[in-house]
Structure 1
Amino acid sequence: MTLTLQDAPVVAPESVLDQLRAAVGARNVVTGASELAPRLVEDRGLFRGTASAEIRPGTTEEVAACLRICTSAGVPVVPQGGNTGLVGGGVPYGGVILTTGRLNQVRDIDPINATMTVEAGCILAQVQAEADRIGKLFPLSLASEGSCQIGGNLATNAGGTAVLRYGNTRDLVLGLEVALPDGQILRDLNGLRKNNTGYDLKNLFIGAEGTLGVITAAVIKLFPKTVSRATALVACGGPHHALALYDRLRTRHGDILSTFEYLERLGLEMSLAHSPGTSDPMAQAYPAYALVELATSDSEADIGPRLEAVLADALEAEEILDAVIGASESQRDALWAMRENMSEAQKSYGASIKHDVAVPVAQVADFLTEAVAAVRAHVPNLRPCPFGHFGDGNIHFNLTRPVDMSDADFLGEYDALNRIVHDIVVKMGGSFSAEHGVGLAKRGELRRYRDPVALQLMQQIKDALDPHGLMNPGKVL
């Protein structure tokens, strides 16, 4: 769909583009239609926008200069990293796109302080590799880590598969550098674990989706490198059995439990069909599965037997039905591939309506049971394909169209299915956006479900930092 807001899109005058060329170099102001095209559409192709140019600054000072020029001229700016977002947050509606790909330096690594200072355009996989090179771990891990940029991860407070143990992106950051809409630069790149000198300003910008300024660099936390892991795919009768297994693992091995991912049979079948050369590691089909992993930095620890023991107890307690433990690195990778290929595999099965929701961990099983029944009552033969980060309460509640229904007819149920799912989520004390952000797609949901006082405070912060509403307009608020 085309991105539409209330006002006509602003076209950047040629005089403004000339000023931007002077600030960043002529070759770093891109106006050609073919070069702009990939930057105008979001990853899933659901939203398409317009822009006068893509601006590619190479330093924080250049970012600040671009913002100063655009603010003075009343030209909107849409910050964009790897453009892997899923809620339309990086799609422009007029103005210019400011990309951070040239801000790609690792400025500092401090192994003793266990920190790394990285610029916003660093690819997440690059950051992981730099940490690994010095025997450390940066635990943020996403399906798009080969192309997403750390600035975008920060702007959306990304989650991923390691939140259970290490927290969201917000929990992995100590300091930020941010270019503000008026051209000032907030320089707060500290590596302190304790710093009670007033308001924690970095958390204004983490998760703000580029609506308050442009994050240009960050000090991130590093952790001891994992040297031993034990991975298993566990079959169970459904979400309540999976929740019982999670509680058992958390109680026994909470200090080394790094992953607890949930998927159901349909999702596993999709993933296997999408990945040539793979096969079901179990002799028969089961209703649901959990991918669990224990990991440690202790080279002396033998955690395989510990995982085997807790799974044996779970089997005796009838919490699980079967389990396969990866006996080698290649087998562990093969188990992970079944989970990691899920999102891509779903594309082959027709239109899907996707929900990125979170509920308290204790409510995850009840949510899945109630939500599946509710959506099937509304669209018979609909194919639910829930999966995700069971251990932190974040489920990607994806709904694939019925086999006998057209894509268009199914997508016509988008609003109704959203209301069904999100009403259940909020009733259970949950969130309609767990790790993907609000962007454009969920602005209406924010107004519907968020506390009015919270919305008022958000607007006041927006007005204080971006009084003309030029930073990523139309997103979040």
Structure 2
Amino acid sequence: MSIEGGRHASLGATARAAFLARCRAIAGDAQVLSGADCAPYLTDWRGRFTGAALAVLRPATTDQVAALVRACGDAGVPMVPQGGRTGLVQGSVPDASGDAVVLSLARMQRIRQLDPVNRTMTVDAGCILHDVQQAAAASACLFPLSLAAEGSCSIGGNLSTNAGGTAVLRYGNARALCLGLEVVTAQGDVWDGLRGLRKDNTGYDLRDLFIGAEGTLGIITGAVLQLFPRPKATLTALVALASPSAATTLLLLAQDSCGASLTGFELMSHYCLQLVQQQFPALPRPIKQEHPYYVLLEVASSESEAHAAHLLERTLATAFEDGVAQDAVLSSTLAQAQGLWDIREHIPLAQARAGHNIKHDIALPVSAIAGFIARTDAALAQHFAGCQVVCFGHLGDGNLHYNVAAPAGMHDADFLASQDAVNAVVYASVAEDGGSISAEHGIGALKRDALVRHKSAVELALMRSVKQALDPRNLMNPGKVL
């Protein structure tokens, strides 16, 4: 079947019964769900789409995953790998045909090995990110990947989307934090690449091929994660600014002053904080006077709290002297620092409570961000009068969450009908600066058509060649990415 076909023949009643019986023999009767029991696995996190599934399969081991993949291959049943189901681009839910199975890795949560000398941890793909962070901390190590969804997202999902988060500025995306993988191929074979090596120059880098592939080339079942020394102290400041241009100036100043100790640099518009205050009034309001933009700045020191304080205070002093900063609050306790981060982490939740919005997860050169915001804000105001832009993100690595909400008084459904038109305005502006339409959320089904318009013919041909070579029958997460 061609990759672009997307459709698979439905099983007849007899073939379906035989297929499900084989799956039950592999995973156990209780781990093959059907009918109403499938419901929790079929709706995307944003509640924008609900698919259908032939069944939900819940393996407990890599061998069971491989056996289930072989069973699906023999029956011609497409598979949708699923972790914590926290993705935002409809990449981990099936389509509406009901022909596919969901292959949930939620039961695979073993921490297989922790090597504090090599500073690595080998884990099942279903491990929850927060649990991995805690296991690292228990061994006086740090696993730095940090996301708003860390209490429910899984390592397999993090790797399949090459997740980013708030620590990319210092430690890199999920790809940079993974040394090795275990993957079940579309043919049901197991590739054991669980090597804790920082250098391995023996041919094509298969690890990087599967990371970021969103389950379309194979199913990640295990990973070797890179750990780091825990900093001796971490300090946080919230800085008020007049503009995004001032934020990029502050970023350069902080990088020059703090070097590798600068671990976080998050941009937030005033409207973001206003949303959080409206929806979560119990959260702190550290800067009472309103300012157009804010930056949450974090410094971590491997030496001492005094060293971290020196770096941060020196940065802020220069920012005020140069007229870059308008106000600032520096955390003096861990609770105060957590309170500042809670404001940032509650922005997506506040958006969800306030209503549906049109999300954009974009990447730009840092030097282009201020111009992009000014130009795109103006274009949206011209074409969609009264719309609200919720602009925040990881300025330090050029990643903005540039979301657009309905004008006051307009019903969400009416505004969402303009999604393609809004996307066209935003993506055209992204392209003008040589940016990307997906920085860390992936493509999934939601951005698949846009990808065709924003990737070159050569890039798309190469991607399709890889897909055809590894999954010629298009059984691995069909309809996603390509």
Of 47, 50, 53 in structure 1, the residue corresponding to residue 52 of structure 2 is: 50
Post-superposition Cα deviations, 1:416-469, rounded to whole Å, max 9, x if no partner, equal 110110111111011000000000000011100112111111111111111100
Structure 1: which 5+ residue stretches go unaligned?
none
Number of the residue aligned with 2:210: 205
Letter in 2 for 1:28: Q
Residues 10-50 of structure 1 deviation map (CA, whole Å, 9 limit, x = unaligned)? 357111111111111111111131x2101111000112111
How far residue 300 of structure 1 moved from its aligned partner, in angstroms, is 6.5
For 1:89 and 1:49, locate their aligned partners in 2 and report how far apart those are by CA, in whole Å: 11
Does 2:220 correspond to 1:215? yes
Q: Deviations over 1:65-90 (max 9, x none)?
A: 10011011100011000111100001
Compute the RMSD of aligned alpha carbons: 1.3
- Aligned residue for 1:437? 442
Q: What amino acid is the match of 2:410? A: M
| 1:405 Cα offset (Å) | 1.8
Look up the match of 1:66. 68
Confirm or deny: 8 A CA contact 1:89 1:209 kept in the other structure: yes
Counterpart amino acid of 1:343? Answer: P
Indicate yes or no: 2:472 matched with 1:467: yes
What code does the residue aligned with 1:357 have?
I
Kept in 1, the 8 Å contact 2:80–2:102? The answer is: yes
Provide the residue aligned with 1:398 in structure 2. 403
Other-structure match for 1:10? 10
Deviation (angstroms), 1:400: 1.4
Name the SS for the 2:260 alignment partner. coil
1:295 and 2:300 correspond: yes
Q: Matched residues in 2 for 1:319 and 1:219: separation? A: 42
Mapping of residues 23-422 of structure 1, within 5 Å? 23-33=26-36, 35-93=37-95, 94-299=99-304, 301-422=306-427
State the alpha-carbon separation in 2 of the partners of residues 166 and 13 from structure 1. 47
Gaps of 5+ in 2: none
CA distance in 1, matches of 2:207, 2:10: 30
What letter matches 1:423 in structure 2?
A
Aligned-partner Cα distance in 2 for 1:141–1:402: 32
Q: Is the 8 A contact 1:237 1:288 kept in 2?
A: yes
Paired with 2:352 and 2:177, the residues of 1 have a C-alpha distance of 32
Partners of 1:9 and 1:95 within 8 A in 2:
no
Indicate the SS of the match to 1:183: coil
Deviations 1:377-424 (CA, angstroms, capped at 9, x unpaired):
111111111001010000000111110322122112110110110111
Task: Indicate yes or no: 2:396 matched with 1:425.
Answer: no
User: What secondary structure does 1:13 align onto?
Assistant: helix
CA-CA distance at 1:102 after TM superposition = 1.5
Deviates more, 1:123-132 or 1:16-25: 16-25
The Cα of 1:297 is off from its aligned counterpart by 2.7
Farther off after superposition, 452-461 or 214-223: 452-461
- For residues 41 and 340 of structure 1, the distance between their equivalents in structure 2, rounded to whole angstroms, comes to 23
Q: What is the aligned partner in structure 1 of residue 23 from structure 2? A: 20
How far apart, in 2, do the equivalents of 1:445 and 1:420 lie? Answer: 12
Contact in 1 for aligned 2:6/2:474 (Cα 8 Å): no
Contact 2:263-2:299 at 8 Å conserved across structures? yes
Superposition TM-score, scaled by structure 2 size: 0.96
SS at match of 2:67: helix
- For the 8 Å contact 1:19–1:69, the answer to whether it is kept is yes
Q: Is the 8 A contact 2:136 2:227 kept in 1?
A: yes
Task: Provide the C-alpha distance between the structure 1 equivalents of 2:62 and 2:354, rounded to a whole number of angstroms.
Answer: 44
Q: CA deviation at 1:9?
A: 7.1
Secondary structure (helix, strand or coil) at the match of 1:179 reads: strand
* Bigger shift: residues 21-30 or 260-269: 21-30
SS at match of 1:17: helix
Deviating beyond 4 angstroms after TM superposition, the runs of 4 or more aligned structure 1 residues are none
TM-superposed deviation, 1:8: 6.8
Local SS of the residue matching 1:174: strand
* Secondary structure of 2:268's aligned partner: strand
Matched AA of 1:451:
S
Cα deviations by residue, 1:241-297 (Å, 9 ceiling, x for unpaired) = 011000100111121000000001111011122223234212311111000000123
- Distance in 1 separating the partners of 2:142 and 2:10: 44
* 1:6 positional shift: 6.2
Given residue 80 of structure 1, which amino acid in structure 2 is its aligned partner?
Q
TM-score when normalising by structure 1: 0.97
**How many residue pairs were aligned?**
472
